[in-house]
Amino acid sequence: MPVYVATRGLSSSPVKPERVRIAAERMLEAVKRPKAELSILLCDDATIHELNRDYRGKDRPTDVLSFSMHEGEGSGVHPDLLGDVVISIDTARKQAAEKGWAIASEIRFLLAHGLLHLLGYDHQTRDEERRMLAMGDALMAAAMRRKAPPKAATAPARARRR
């Protein structure tokens, strides 16, 4: 199944949507879900702010949101339909500068984070957070094809929106 990448509210993007699609496909291969369907929206702070307010009740922009197809109405329709990951390029740009990373690295980090939420992982406890960070690092490496990511040893926590 395909990975779709769209943009909204951006006059230009610092990364090509095609590169984001390839990174997502590599991440899906790494988690043994190569046939999963995923939609990714690269947007501005205004767009993610509106989504964050409307769906999470938080009246501010955020870096990444995940909308699982396995929650709410229509859940379980098709197990390979994962859901949507929304990434704010504006916030990613700020966070990349703060971390001293390239914007492409920050976008891969946020993509991995959002994808892990769609796969059922969460970070409500320190152990969950450590597991997610380690898996996120492995997914980023897979996206870059640096080395094979380690297998997840434990089952994910229940899925939540970030």
pLDDT tens, 5-48?
999 999 888 889 999 999 999 999 999 999 999 999 999 999 99
User: What kind and span of H or E run contains 42?
Assistant: strand 37-43
pTM for the full model? 0.84
- CA 144 to chain centroid: 15
User: pLDDT tens across 47-56, in order?
Assistant: 999 999 999 9
**Picking from 74-83, 103-112, 115-124, which range would have the lowest pLDDT averaged per residue?**
74-83
Distances (CA, A) of 80 to 34, 96, 148: 9, 31, 23
